[in-house]
Structures are given as C-alpha cells and as structure tokens.
Structure 1
Amino acid sequence: MNKGVSLYKLGMIGLLMLLLLIPLMMINGIIGDRQNRRDGVIDDIARSSSYSQQLTGPLLIVPYRRTVQVSRYSAVTQQRYEEPVEERGRLYFLPDQFTLDGNVQTEVRARGIYEARLYHATNTIAGNFVLPERFGLGDEYKNYHFDEPFLAVGISDIRGIENDLKLNLDGKTFDFVPGTDVPLLGEGVRVMLPTEDGAEKTTLKFTFDLRLQGTGQLQVTPVGKSSHVVLSADWPHPSFIGNYLPTARNVSDTNFNATWETSFFSTNVQDILNRCSASEICNELKARSFGVSFISPVDQYLKADRSIKYALLFIALTFAGFLLFEVLKGLAVHPVQYALVGAALALFYLLLLSLSEHIGFGLAYLISATVCVALISFYVSHVLGSVAHGTGFGIGLGTLYALLYGLLSAEDYALLMGSLLLFGLLVVFMVLTRKLDWYAIAQRPAKPVVASLEVAQ
C-alpha cells in the first residue's frame, strides 16, 4: 500500500535535491566560464586600444651636479685621504596649485556578444610652481651645477594620448616628448625647459590640454599643495574609486559631474615623494589617487551567479509545496515527478544566462521565469489532477521568482528580505498544517493521481 508521506519518500526527496546540485554546479561553472571569456574580450579590446588611465604629475625636475669629498683608504700608504667625486642627482618640485578640468565621452566597442566601454577624456590641466629661494639649498647652492630642468607627467598608458601635447609656460609654448625620464612616474611625457625659466624664476605658471583614451577607469593623483579636479561625463552610473571621494557630485539619468578638493595635509604627497625620489617604483605615490570607474553596473553574469545561490532554496520550497499537497490532499507524487520539476527549476538558470547575454538581465529573467512557471504549472496540473491546484502552484512559484528578483535588485537589503521570506513561508506552512496528525498521515493510503485533469462538477 502506498503511503502519502513516508520516510522512504522523504529520503528520496532529499537524495533528489542532492543530485540536482550536480547540474546546478555545472551551470554555475558555465557562468564562470562565460564571465572569464567576457573579461578576456574586454582585456583584448583594451590591449588593442588602451588600458585604464592614471595621471600623475606634473612634476618639475631639476638635475644637478656637485663635487663632494669622499673618504678613501690607501693600502699603499695605509692612510685615509679625501678624493673629490662628482655627484649627480635631481631635485623634485610639486606644483603649489594643480587643477584639472575633464570632460569625458564614452563609447561601446563590441566583439561578438561581449562589449567593452571606452572613454575619451578631454582634460585641461593648469597650475603653478612656486620655487623656494636657491631651490631650498641655502648656502650649499653655490656648490651645485644645474642641468636643463624639465617638467614630467606620468600617464599609465601613453597609447591613449590623442593630441599633440604642448605646454604653455608663462606665455611661451614648448613641445612635449615621449617618456618621463623619471622611473617613479613610469610611462608618460616630458618637456624640456629653458634654464632661465626652470632655474631662476620663482613662480612658473603652466597649462596644457590632454586628450586621453582609456578603458574602465580614469584616475588622477592630486600632486598639488592645493588640488582641484572636476570631471564630467555622459555616463549615468559612475563608481567613484581611490583614496578620496568627491567633495561634491551630481548624478543624473544621463550624466554626472564630480569635484575633488585635496591639500598636502590630506595627501602627504611631498613626504611620499621625498621617500621615493631615489626609487624606480613608487606605489605609495600612485596609491594617493582618486577617480571614476566606467564599468557597467548591470553585470548579467554577477546577477546570474547571485541568483543561482538561491537555487537549492527554490528547489526545497517547490518540493515542500508538493509535499504539502501530498499531506493535505493525500496524493501520491512519484519521485520521478519531483525530479522533472526540479530539472525545470535548474534549467531556468541556464535559460536565464543564455538569454541575458543578448537581451539584458531584466527581460531575460521575466521570459525565463514565465516559461518555467508555465511549464511547471501545466505539468503539476496533470500530476495533481486539478487545474486549480496547478494554477495555485504556479502562482506560488511565480511569487517566489518575483521575490528572488527583488532580492537580486536590492543588494543592500538582500539578507533582510531573504530572512523575512523564509520566516513568512515557515509561518504559512505551519498555519496550513497546524491541525494535521502526522502519525495518522503516515499510515493513510494515498489517492491515486489521475492521468487526466479532473472535471469540474
């Protein structure tokens, strides 16, 4: 005699849930593979154009030579003596005022179904250097011989430079040349300055225009004693990154603009530069940056990955609904029927992933959920022998899909909403079964499930 609910049935349901983890893990692996392929395409596009950009500078560099006395030891005379040696070095000066006014236009580059967002930033960079008297060397100034000074700007990927760079210095124009000749800045450009401008004047006012292409992120290192940076773009989903948030920002449905204000007190750039001046790499200097990321927040792979984390919960709740029908109606649902419904629930995530790559996550979710709910409702109507039961089951499943979409959309409140959902479902289950005698149900013969839908009387 078949039992409505038995330990055997519960064990089979538990085993089916474990077996359904296999296709779910495979689908999760497909999500990871597609995401890696997307990232690889974006990296290929960036490799063919330009990567994320970071601007560091300008810095004023003054090379010098001086003669110093070095103590030597003579093995012949076994005495120490002083020998004059020429020492070469550089003095580094940061601008007192640094301003950057940037306007960014974005564009989409596609390769197959994958897209990468490039940007074109038109920047006006200006400021001034206020040099200390005798370069701050005091009485030692007379012992120094200065070579031709130059101004250097670090640009992380010089392939993105889109214009002929010219520096306006106190009304005079000078051409930039490739390379910073400053290891701590990395790649970039420099411009040689006349000795009378670079070594005698105490105040140097500069300005230049820089059109720059990049992918993903645009960052700026605030090198000024006082730095003022303004960025605006035709991108409505900015992600502000780096060590400093904007002091003011305005984000609309079509664009954004943001303003940053920093000082030496907040950046400590001068002290960092002093420590890094003899180094070839200065990660600490480049870490003192801020900027914006142009990566799209609508990542179908991330949302698909988050949604599949709820798959086992969905299957458990659906099976619990079947079990509830067995308990309340005394019906016998075969484990194979449980398995087919579970397979439909698992394939929802594969359908969601494949559709979202072409039509967007929201529409893909709606279509996938609709067809899965329709299929399961049709099947359950025959399994339970009732259109009403199948329709009710479909409504409940559709509600669960709607709640899942809410969880995916409200990331900050996902845990709270998920907890309330589970508690609410537990309340419903307990209320519906509050008067059941579970011992009697285990011994009650199950009603045979008819092959066709019951006819309304």
Structure 2
Amino acid sequence: MENTNRPQQNKFGQWIKTSITARMLMVGFLVIILLVPLSYINSLITERSLRQQDVVSEINDKWGNNVLVYGPILKVPYKTHSETKTYNETTKTYLTETKTQINYAYIFPENLSSAVEASSKTLKRGNFESAVFTTNMNFNGAFTKPVLEQKGIKEEDIEWDKLKIIIKTSNLKGIKNEMSIKVNNSTYPFETNFNENPNIHISYLDELESGFLTDLDFIKSEKASFNFIITFNGSKDIQIIPIGKTTTLQMTSNWADPSFIGNFLPNDETKEITKDGFKADWKVIHINRAFSQQYLDNIPNLNEFAFGTKFMVMVDEYQKSERSAKYGFLVIGLTFLVFFLIQTMSKINIHPFQYLMIGLALTMFYTLLVSISEHSNFLKAYWIAGISVIVLITLYAKSILKTFKFPLFIGLSLTALYTFIYVIIQLENYALLVGSIGLFIILAIVMFVSRKIDWTNG
C-alpha cells in the first residue's frame, strides 16, 4: 500500500508545483488568511483613535468647550392679575380676590453686531494633541422700547425699574474676563443665574444676568445702545444665534482650516482663507429666520439657528492611518499578483511559506505607521514604514528569485503602489476619482503582462 500511495502523493505535489490553478488557489487562500492580522491592525488603529478622542475631550473640558452665545436678551417683568371668587355662606355673597403675579417678557435686540478674533494653538498630552483657541468677542447693538400691548400687556403693568439683560452661553467655564454690559451711559455687572432645570439636555445653556437697568433714558429715548466684551477659552467651534432684527458677525483667526457651519454661510465676496488664517463676514436679517423678536414666559431654544465656524482638523494622523489600512487588502493582493506572475512566467518556484512571510511583512507596514506617527508627523512615519518594508521585501525577493531583475521590479512596483495610496489619502474631493483611474491603469497593466501566459496549462 505504501508503493500505491507514494505515486499518488508525488502526483499531487507535482500538480501543486506545476498547476497555475493550484497556485492561484494557494495565493488566494493566503490573501484571505492575511485579512486576520489586517483586522487586528484596524482594531488597534480604532483603539488608539478612541484613546485620542478621550484625551482631546479631557483637554477641551479643562481648557474650554465649544462657544455658543445666545444674547443679549432684555428681560422685562410685568404684572398679571387673576380674580378668584369665593362664596360666603353667611352673607350669601361672593367675595372677589385679586392676585397679582410677576411674569417676564423676553425682547431681542433691534440690531446686533459682533466682532470676533480667535487665536488658536495646540495643547499636548503625551502623544496626543488638541486644537484650542482664545477668542475675544465684542458685541454692539441696541434695544428699542418694548411695545407689549399686542401681547395683551398694559403699559402700567410693566415694571420699568426692574429691567434686566441676560446672556446664555454654552461655555460658562471658559469665560476669562469680568462680565459687564454698558447700556447707554451706565455699566451693569453680570452674575451667574442658576436655573435649576430637571430636563437638562445637550442644548442646555448656562445663563448670565445683569443687575436692574436704572438708566431711565432708555424709556425716554425709546432706544438703548449696548456694548459688552466676552473673552473665552474654547475649542471645536464658535457660534452665535442671530437674535437681532439685523445681525452681523465678523470673524478673524489664525486657523487655516475653517469649516463654516450652521444655518447661514458667510458672504463669498468678503471671505478670505489663507495658510495664515481666515476672515469671514455674515449678515442675517429677521426675514431670514423663522422666529419672533418677542416671547412671553420663557426663552425658546433657538440653537438650531446658530451659525459660525468650526475649527476643524482636516484629517488627523489616525484617520490617515485608518484610510491607509483600508487599502491593505489591495496592497497584499497586488503584491502577491506580481510574485504570481513572476513565478508563472519565469518558472521559478515560490513556496507558500515565502508568500506568507511577504504578506506578514506587508502587514507590518501598518503597525510601523501607527507607532511612528504617534511620535512624528504622518508623512515622515509613512515613508519610514514604507521604505523599511520595501527594502525588506526586495532583499527577501532577491534571495528567493536568485536574480536582480525581478527584485528590482518588485521594489519599484511597491514604491509606486505606496506612493499612489499616499496621494489618495491626502486628497479629499478627488480621492475616488484618482483611485478609480489608478486601479484602471493597474488592471490594464496586469492584463497586458499576463496576455502571453498559457492559462490552459492548469
């Protein structure tokens, strides 16, 4: 029986060595096997990216979070009267009792103008960093005398001597100056108005409230001009809500990669973005947004109408590494294809173990990339990892193929492939287009090279 099995085993081994179909199946199987370490590498990149997000959130929380300013809003107290009747059994008459309650009307300014200057920088903790800024926001505008008769409120019920101004913000912790507002010729300091809200949600804003406005010129002149300045330490974005009947915003910063967000975009004619920063101007009139200038009893949540600028990191190191790792299957597959074509056309035998070593070397590129990029910039990490892997595979190919021509071709092919992938990673708008064209060219080259192979000998 030993003599019977031995020829069958030799025949099977010979088929593995000489059959194109067998080699294709073997190479395909190894590519699938190498998807396992690639998946672990992707998980590692995700884990490190989440760790970075945690560190960035911690830095931002201590420095200052996003900046949203909702105000100033004139808070007008007014009296409401209610009558209750009680029947008196003794006198057989009804006793009428009048109760007076204080409610509030909230009046938005006639015009609101804001000039914002933001100076950005990076804060580091270990291998991670976060982009933060310090912004100086200068607000000017004017209130007109409230006319509340249309709301059913009589002039004599308004308590003009108890007017206040409130400002709501998302970043109370980040304020770095003593807050006060100048109304006409008088200055009023702000204090935190703790408003216990059991239904706190993401859009909840903290509130600052001024003292009583004692400047009676407001009532006489029918108009009150105001001015106040807020200095914030913040991160992520700067936004305001356009509560003025006419609202303008001018923003300048040294941040080179702004993303304009919210319901309103800046004027294209005046917008400037350079490598040294940006400048943008907005103008919003009351007809552009769907809310009123006056509200009774409560201030509405108008966060959805906010607009401003996000201080955006275009593509951070982990995003680039993750995008690079997504091409791992392509790199391994094309590299194995090059070796397969060389093996088929030159009749040089390459053992499956040697394919496996080449595949593992290709996967090592991504671990090198992630680890080096945490201590350097992505470009330097990419080329260090790429050159290391290309040199390693080229020298290994030299020991396998016993010639200089094929290893040199493999080294040049890998260099072109890694360069191609790096270009795609850097592109934003044209990544899909360039990638599709590149893959089409690669397919055309493979078809051209493999046209003379006798596939019938399988």
Matches of residues 47-446 of structure 1 in structure 2 within 5 Å? Answer: 47-69=61-83, 84-133=98-147, 136=150, 140-145=154-159, 148-179=162-193, 186-192=205-211, 193-194=213-214, 196=216, 201-247=221-267, 248-270=270-292, 274=295, 278=297, 282-283=300-301, 285-440=302-457, 442=458
- The answer as to whether partners of 2:76 and 2:163 remain within 8 angstroms in 1 is yes
- The answer as to whether partners of 1:152 and 1:189 remain within 8 angstroms in 2 is yes
Letter in 2 for 1:306: R
Q: Deviations over 1:291-343 (max 9, x none)?
A: 11223224011111111111101111111111111221112111111111111
- The answer as to whether partners of 1:377 and 1:394 remain within 8 angstroms in 2 is yes
SS in 2 for 1:358: coil
Quickly say closer, same or farther: Cα 1:137–1:430, change in 2 above 3 A.
Answer: closer
Segments of 4+ moved more than 6 angstroms: 71-82, 182-185
Q: Distance in 1 between matches of 2:430 and 2:307?
A: 28
Please identify, of 24-33 and 426-435, the stretch whose mean Cα deviation from structure 2 is larger. 426-435
Q: Distance in 1 between matches of 2:404 and 2:92?
A: 110
Q: Distance in 2 between matches of 1:77 and 1:116?
A: 77
The correspondence for 2:43, drawn from 23, 26, 29, is 29
Q: Deviations over 1:161-189 (max 9, x none)?
A: 11112211112222122227697973132
Q: Distance in 1 between matches of 2:353 and 2:196?
A: 71
Gaps of 5+ in 1: 443-457
- The answer as to whether partners of 2:82 and 2:99 remain within 8 angstroms in 1 is yes
1:49 Cα shift? 2.5
Match of 1:454 in 2: none
Q: Distance in 2 between matches of 1:372 and 1:79?
A: 101
Letter in 2 for 1:336: F
Q: Deviations over 1:266-300 (max 9, x none)?
A: 122327x74xx5557x44x0121111122322401
Q: Distance in 2 between matches of 1:406 and 1:71?
A: 82
Letter in 1 for 2:257: H
**Structure 1 vs Structure 2: percent identity of aligned residues?**
28
1:221 Cα shift? 1.2
Q: Distance in 2 between matches of 1:95 and 1:76?
A: 55
Q: Distance in 2 between matches of 1:297 and 1:26?
A: 26
Match of 2:4 in 1: none
1:46 Cα shift? 2.0
Q: Distance in 2 between matches of 1:30 and 1:36?
A: 10
Quickly say closer, same or farther: Cα 1:79–1:10, change in 2 above 3 A.
Answer: farther
- The answer as to whether partners of 1:95 and 1:223 remain within 8 angstroms in 2 is yes
Q: Distance in 1 between matches of 2:401 and 2:87?
A: 102
Q: Deviations over 1:211-263 (max 9, x none)?
A: 11112211111111111101111111112222211113111111111111111
SS in 1 for 2:181: strand
- The answer as to whether partners of 1:62 and 1:147 remain within 8 angstroms in 2 is no
SS in 1 for 2:256: coil
SS in 2 for 1:391: helix
1:4 Cα shift? 3.9
Quickly say closer, same or farther: Cα 1:431–1:140, change in 2 above 3 A.
Answer: same
Q: Distance in 2 between matches of 1:75 and 1:161?
A: 62
Q: Distance in 2 between matches of 1:201 and 1:194?
A: 14
Matches of residues 40-51 of structure 1 in structure 2 within 5 Å? Answer: 40-51=54-65
Q: Deviations over 1:5-31 (max 9, x none)?
A: 443322222221111111111111111
Please identify, of 194-203 and 416-425, the stretch whose mean Cα deviation from structure 2 is larger. 194-203
SS in 1 for 2:216: helix
Q: Distance in 1 between matches of 2:217 and 2:365?
A: 70
Letter in 2 for 1:352: L
